[in-house]
A and B are shown apart, each in its own frame.
Chain A
């Protein structure tokens, strides 16, 4: 079962930062937070993942709170192509199954 909760939808102006929150209050110490996105009728695309520390890559930044009960995905300069459903997933260290929650539908507005 999904262990995350996310807002159903969000809008963001093109060129601005998109901040997508995720709650995972029951996360265990060895569980990772993963973010994927899915553009309509395609397979999910990996964005970023983290355990405790904040992470950054060419696509996004991931901010994890100190108690690890929530996180925020940041797309620094949203473009129209970032319009998608964004999924926050908690993954165990030994188990590889991903249980998807409802995700956040992000719409980037021109």
Chain B
């Protein structure tokens, strides 16, 4: 089946720095990708919809200036967490549509110290 990859799989950064997470659809083109955040023992929370060639659509309560999304090609979307703080530590997961299914990446564990 279709595969979505994420890089890095885990990252540790210092408070105040920015971190970029990549999401790639490996064997299909995705005009739309999605970014989720998941805290321990909680469900996935949709953060934003990433549209190729246009601005991302953010869910209510998600700061667009803090979570910068770029979808420059049909196979790549990036999420940049700017000026990260410890409360941004979480599991970030992306997904991409392929026909009727939404394929999820393996996730990126972000720890901000």
Chain A contact residues, CB within 8 Å of chain B: 2, 32, 34, 36, 38, 41-46, 49, 87, 96-103
Q: How far is the CA of A87 from the CA of B43 in the complex (A)?
A: 9
Chain A residues within 8 Å of B103, by CB: 46
Chain A residues within 8 Å of B4, by CB: 43
Chain A residues within 8 Å of B78, by CB: none
B52 → chain A closest CB, angstroms: 13
Cβ contacts B23-67/A at 8 Å (1 or 0 each): 000000000101010000001111001000000000000000000
Contact of A43 among B93, B97, B101 (CB under 8 A): B93
Contact call B107/A41, Cβ cutoff below 8 A: yes
Contact call B46/A45, Cβ cutoff below 8 A: no
SS class of chain A's interface: helix, strand, loop or mixed? Answer: loop
Chain A residues within 8 Å of B49, by CB: 96-97
Cβ contacts B86-103/A at 8 Å (1 or 0 each): 000001010101001111
Q: How far is the CA of A41 from the CA of B4 in the complex (A)?
A: 16
Contact call B105/A96, Cβ cutoff below 8 A: no
B36 → chain A closest CB, angstroms: 8
Contact call A45/B104, Cβ cutoff below 8 A: yes
Chain B residues within 8 Å of A41, by CB: 91, 107, 109
27 CB-based A-B contacts, threshold 8 Å: A2-B43, A32-B100, A38-B44, A42-B106, A42-B107, A43-B4, A43-B95, A43-B104, A43-B107, A45-B104, A46-B101, A46-B103, A49-B100, A49-B101, A87-B43, A87-B44, A96-B34, A96-B49, A97-B34, A97-B49, A98-B34, A98-B46, A99-B46, A100-B44, A100-B46, A102-B43, A103-B43
